[in-house]
């Protein structure tokens, strides 16, 4: 922070000499609205480079947040609310009302734009077209970072923080030779598995590094993060041409909590847990047991004003059609339904079982209650709760295996989730503020793609003008 303040002081002095101190005094004065557009014009006259200009904007913005700012909210072209917020430099408590929030409210159609649309038939047999489009996208993002975008008399510079997506997209877009398709699938293989993670060597059978040690703060694979690139340097992904701050480009490709939990380990956990409880509490037939669950689930949703996508819980829905000895497999495709089932199951256990655990819900719920950035102590608490759940999941898997039960499968998404939780923990040890893991979530993008997709399946092209 001292380095940043010295830079602010230096730039202030240069601006002060250029403009007789008028704007410098305005910056220093508390509770004063600062016009970045006016300052930008004067700075450009001083012939500062584009990077100096970008740095100045960031520093001035931080200076405003620490000194004072006047904010107004407009609705329908009319000013709705206006206030002045005092911001002591080292008082994080006063940053709460101006903290950046997760962009998860409102229609996704209003906040998203497609880069390109390509039918799978175009790149299924020959992926050259796919990588050509990625090359174009990377070129545009590079230009936005280096040259910026002139808009309304102001220049904006864009910085790409990473590439996010589900595991198949990351594997293809990154051209990785380590992904979930290269995971160990049997006790021994003719050709050793190379590993399932593009960030570390977990699942590599030659090195003997397991990926299943969920929940540990220092798993064996941790020392291998960034040690061996997961892509060929002779044919890297076109997306690696995007400017990125870091020596290990593998971390440029970000894991997604939505696919790793809501459509991953969360589904695996809740189906196994429900079946275990049913065996203990309802020694009835499958249909009778799930009928009891459906009634309780319906009552919970009605009481908590929830509208579930699926209203009936059945044995087929949980993948145990023949008996409880089957391997549970969630039959739903909506990530939000995983959230609702987990919340209901925690409530159900609190009423039906002597002691209930809420680790599966608490750490994720805490993420949604935070903003775009999380204070380090809070982030550490969230990460530790996430590790506690993952460790408990691994213990349940071991217990089920020892008893010969098909429960709590150890899947690659559990390892990816382990990465995310540990990243949050390590960031909390290095910084006062940590990026929220939900920053890299894909649920909004899934919704955005799903809306026109749903319409296209219900409306004939012949009726569209």
Q: What would the pLDDT profile of 249-283 be if each residue is shown by its tens digit?
A: 888 999 999 999 888 898 888 888 887 777 776 55
The tokens for 136 are: 């174009």
pLDDT of 453: 83
Terminal C-alpha separation, the chain: 58
pLDDT of 185: 76
Q: What would the pLDDT profile of 308-362 be if each residue is shown by its tens digit?
A: 888 888 777 777 776 666 767 777 778 788 888 888 888 877 765 544 356 777 8
Look at 15-29, 42-56, 376-390 and tell me which has the smallest mean pLDDT: 42-56
- Contact by Cβ (8 Å): 427, 434: yes
For residues 328 and 419, which has the higher predicted lDDT (pLDDT)? Answer: 419
Residue matched to tokens 């898997």? 397
DSSP bridge partners of 433: 375
- Contact by Cβ (8 Å): 219, 203: no
pLDDT band of residue 107 (cuts 50, 70, 90) is: confident
pLDDT of 95: 53
CA dihedral (163, 181, 203, 387) positive or negative = positive
Residue 78 pLDDT > 70: no
The tokens for 117 are: 């649309």
Residue 392 pLDDT > 60: yes
Q: What 3 state SS string does the chain have? A: CHHHHHHHHHHHHHHHHHHCCHHHHHHHCCCCCCCHHHHHHHHHHCCCCHHHHHHHHHHHHHHHHHHEEEEEEEECCEEEEEEEEECCCCCHHHHHHHCCCCCCCCCHHHCCCCCCCCCHHHHCCCCHHHHHHHHHHHHHHHHHHHCCEEECCEEECCCCCCEECCHHHHHHHCCECCCHHHCCCCCCCCCCCCCCCCCCCCCCCCCCCCCCCCCCCCCHHHHHCCCCCCECCCCCCHHHHCCCCCCCHHHHEECCHHHHHHHHHHHHHHHHHHHHHHHHHCCCCHHHHHHHHHHHHHHHHHHCCCCCCCCCCCCCCCCCCCCCCCCCCCCCCCHHHHHHHHHHHHHHHHHHCCCCCCHHHHHHHHHHHCCCEEEHHHHHHHHHHHHHHHHHHHHHHHHHHHCCCCCCCCCHHHHHHHHHHHHHHHHHHHCCEEECHHHHCCHHHHHHHHHHHHHHCCCCHHHCC
What is the spatial distance between Cα 194 and Cα 229, in angstroms, rounded to a whole number?
12
Look at 29-33, 250-254, 362-366 and tell me which has the smallest mean pLDDT: 29-33
Inter-axis angle of helices 50-67 and 36-45, nearest 10: 140
Residue 75 pLDDT > 50: no
Average pLDDT over residues 440-447: 90
Residue 34 pLDDT > 50: no
What is the spatial distance between Cα 327 and Cα 253, in angstroms, rounded to a whole number?
32
For residues 73 and 457, which has the higher predicted lDDT (pLDDT)? Answer: 457
pLDDT of 54: 35
- Contact by Cβ (8 Å): 77, 86: no
Those residues whose C-beta lies under 8 Å from the C-beta of residue 94, and which sit 6 or more positions away, are 85, 86, 87, 88
Nearest C-alpha neighbor of 313 from the set 346, 332, 328, 291:
291
pLDDT band of residue 1 (cuts 50, 70, 90) is: very low
How many CA within 13 A on the CB side of residue 253? 31
User: Please, what is the Cα angle at 343 between 356 and 273, to 5 degrees?
Assistant: 55
Q: What would the pLDDT profile of 137-190 be if each residue is shown by its tens digit?
A: 999 999 999 999 999 889 999 999 899 999 999 999 999 999 998 887 777 777
Q: Which residues of 287-318 are buried (b: 16+ CB within 10 A; e: fewer)?
A: eebbbebbebbbebbeeeeeebebeebbbebb
The tokens for 103 are: 């962009």
pLDDT of 41: 36
Q: Which residues of 414-450 are buried (b: 16+ CB within 10 A; e: fewer)?
A: bbbbbbbbbbbbebbeeeebbbbbbbbbbbbbbbbee
What is the spatial distance between Cα 432 and Cα 427, in angstroms, rounded to a whole number?
9
What is the spatial distance between Cα 173 and Cα 156, in angstroms, rounded to a whole number?
27
Nearest C-alpha neighbor of 259 from the set 463, 441, 65:
441
What does the mean pLDDT of the chain come to?
76
How many CA within 13 A on the CB side of residue 354? 1
pLDDT of 415: 94
Greatest CA span in the chain, whole angstroms?
86
Average pLDDT over residues 294-298: 85
For residues 195 and 70, which has the higher predicted lDDT (pLDDT)? Answer: 195
């Amino acid at each position: 922070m001292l380095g940043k303040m010295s830079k602010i002081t230096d730039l202030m002095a240069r601006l002060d000499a250029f403009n007789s101190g008028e704007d410098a005094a305005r910056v220093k004065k508390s509770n004063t609205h600062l016009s970045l557009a006016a300052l930008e014009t004067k700075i450009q006259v001083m012939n500062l480079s584009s990077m100096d200009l970008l740095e100045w904007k960031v520093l001035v913005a931080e200076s405003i947040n620490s000194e004072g700012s006047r904010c107004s909210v407009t609705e329908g072209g009319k000013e709705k609310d206006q206030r002045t917020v005092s911001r002591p430099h080292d008082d994080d408590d006063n940053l709460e009302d101006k903290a950046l929030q997760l962009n998860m409210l409102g229609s996704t159609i209003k906040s998203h734009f497609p880069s390109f649309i390509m039918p799978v038939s175009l790149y299924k047999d020959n992926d050259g077209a796919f990588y050509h489009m990625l090359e174009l996208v990377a070129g545009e993002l590079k230009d936005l970072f280096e040259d910026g975008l002139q808009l309304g008399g102001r220049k904006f510079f864009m910085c790409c923080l990473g590439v996010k997506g589900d595991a198949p997209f990351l594997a293809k877009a990154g051209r990785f030779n380590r992904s979930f398709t290269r995971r160990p699938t049997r006790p021994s293989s003719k050709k050793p598995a190379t590993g399932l993670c593009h960030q570390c060597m977990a699942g590599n059978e030659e090195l003997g590094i397991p990926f299943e040690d969920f929940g540990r703060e220092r798993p064996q694979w941790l020392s291998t993060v960034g040690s061996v690139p997961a892509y060929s340097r002779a044919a890297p992904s076109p997306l690696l041409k995007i400017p990125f701050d870091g020596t290990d480009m593998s971390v440029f490709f970000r894991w997604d909590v939505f696919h790793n939990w809501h459509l991953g380990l969360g589904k695996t956990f809740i189906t196994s847990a429900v079946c275990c409880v049913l065996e203990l509490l309802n020694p009835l037939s499958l249909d009778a047991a799930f009928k009891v669950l459906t009634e309780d689930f319906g009552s919970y949703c009605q009481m908590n004003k929830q509208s579930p996508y699926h209203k009936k819980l059945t044995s087929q829905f949980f993948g145990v059609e023949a008996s409880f000895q089957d391997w549970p497999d969630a039959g739903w495709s909506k990530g939000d339904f995983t959230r609702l089932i987990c919340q209901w199951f925690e409530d159900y256990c609190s009423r039906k079982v002597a002691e209930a655990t809420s680790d599966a819900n608490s750490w994720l719920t805490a993420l949604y209650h935070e903003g775009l950035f999380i204070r380090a102590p809070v982030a550490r608490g969230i990460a530790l709760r996430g590790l506690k759940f993952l460790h408990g999941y691994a213990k349940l898997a071991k217990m089920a295996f020892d008893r010969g039960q098909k429960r709590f499968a150890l899947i690659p998404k559990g390892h990816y989730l382990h990465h995310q939780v540990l990243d949050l923990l390590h960031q909390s040890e290095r910084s006062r503020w940590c990026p929220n893991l939900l920053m890299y979530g894909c649920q909004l993008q899934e919704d955005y793609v799903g809306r026109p997709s749903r319409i296209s399946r219900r409306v004939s092209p012949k009726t569209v003008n």
